[in-house]
Amino acid sequence: MQQLRRNRRLRTNEAIRSLVRENTITPHDFLVPLFVVEGKGVQEEIASMPGYYRYSLDLLKNEVKELWSMGLKSVLLFVKVPDTLKDNKGTEALNPDGLMQRAVKTVKEVTPDMLVMTDVALDPYSSYGHDGIVKNGYIVNDETCEVLAEMSLSHAQAGADFVAPSDMMDGRILSIREILEEENYVNTGIMSYSAKYASAFYGPFRDALDSAPGFGDKKTYQMDFANREEAIKETLMDIEEGADIVMVKPGLCYLDLVREVRDNVDVPVAVYQVSGEYAMLKAAAEKGWLDHDAVMLEQIMAFKRAGAHIIASYFAKDVVKLLG
């Protein structure tokens, strides 16, 4: 039989390839993580995340203005808390004049339409570096949920559009949704880190915030990376409890779950390309072993192809600059 179908016809030049391309990358895909520190005039590069910085509030202003001008309209805020303010209960997290609360106000002041999401977890505030209150060496669940709910309310009061609980306690989405409803923050959204795995890829992030666990690991609350079905269970439970957006984290090694979650839910799906993923590419590119920009775009496109609606990535600015 004569060959009638030739798939290569659709690949003959860039014009036809772009015409039939199934996925595209735009600035609207991204959620930009930002690290905030106390001080003035501070822009510190994170050693294990070359090209990524912690900003004091004054310089954060310039950064978010630049993001806005590039079409990057959503940020996810993290704070680095001084050791002297850390304790077991994360008391400082509830300070209405704490760094996170001031960071939210700062972003809203200079870029009022920027979507501001806040990290909700105890680890940056915890003297143990854990995502919850520690009792007898165990990270207790329900008491932690109460603090996370109070913390979310405090972020909402400061002006956050979304709170993003990243801790993996059971039932925290319900606790947070209830307090927000009771206090009339009905339009404050919740982006749940619903399927967050206990991963070694978070190493550089813990350098960035000085938040590495002081003992043990996070395996009693974050998920076992051997598991797939559990990710669907976790995600569906968070949606039932009131999550508006769900997330799979880390990113690249978990693309199977991004697709599977996407196929199983009716809310937007986010993926977090984490610090270790960023560091790996930066390191390989520095050595001249990988083409930084080409690999970066291939990775971001992989998230789109897997079905992510939202990509939290330290590459957001690099990608948008490259797209021109």
Q: What angle do CA 57, 60, 66 make, to 5 degrees?
A: 160
- 222-225: long-range contacts, CB 8 A cutoff, minimum separation 24: 222/168, 222/196, 222/197, 222/198, 223/168, 223/195, 223/196, 223/197, 223/198, 224/197, 224/198, 225/197, 225/198, 225/199, 225/253
Among candidates 24, 31, 43, which has minimal Cα distance to 67?
31
Could you give the residue numbers annotated as active site? 196, 249
Residue 234 binds Mg ion (CB under 5 A): yes
The residue among 101, 164, 98 whose CA lies nearest residue 131 is 164
Which two structure tokens, joined as six digits, stand for 278?
Answer: 């960023």
Stretch that binds ligand FVT, among 59-67, 95-103, 153-161, 201-209 (CB under 6 A): 201-209
Alpha-carbon distance values, 186 to 177, 235, 242 (Å): 8, 21, 11
User: Using CB under 6 A, which of 275, 282, 315, 320 touches ligand FVT?
Assistant: 275
Would you count residue 161 as binding Mg ion (CB under 5 A)? no
Shortest spacing between CB 125 and ligand FVT, in angstroms = 13
In the shown chain, the binding pattern of residues 100 to 139 toward ligand FVT, with x for contact by CB under 6 A and - for none, equals -------------------x-x------------------
Tokens, residue 110: 């200079």
Instruction: Look up residue 246 and give its amino acid.
Output: V
Among 15-23, 24-32, 182-190, 272-280, the segment contacting ligand FVT (CB under 6 A): 272-280
Neighbours of 45 (CB within 10 A): 11
Q: Which is nearer to ligand FVT, 201 or 303 (CB)?
A: 201
Asked if 49 touches ligand FVT (CB under 6 A), the answer is no
Q: Cβ of residue 183: shortest distance to ligand FVT, in angstroms?
A: 24
Q: Which of 276, 295, 309 is nearest to 52 (CA)?
A: 276
55 part of the interface to ligand FVT, by CB under 6 A: no
241 binds ligand FVT (CB under 6 A): no
**How many angstroms separate the CA atoms of 93 and 81, rounded?**
9
Minimum distance of ligand FVT from residue 61's CB (angstroms): 23
In the complex, the smallest distance separating the C-beta of residue 130 from ligand FVT, rounded to whole angstroms, is 12
Q: Is 234 annotated as a binding residue?
A: yes
Q: Taking CB under 5 A as the rule, does residue 167 contact Mg ion?
A: no
Q: Note the residues at the interface with Mg ion (CB under 5 A).
A: 234
Q: Note the residues at the interface with ligand FVT (CB under 6 A).
A: 119, 121, 166, 201-202, 205, 274-276
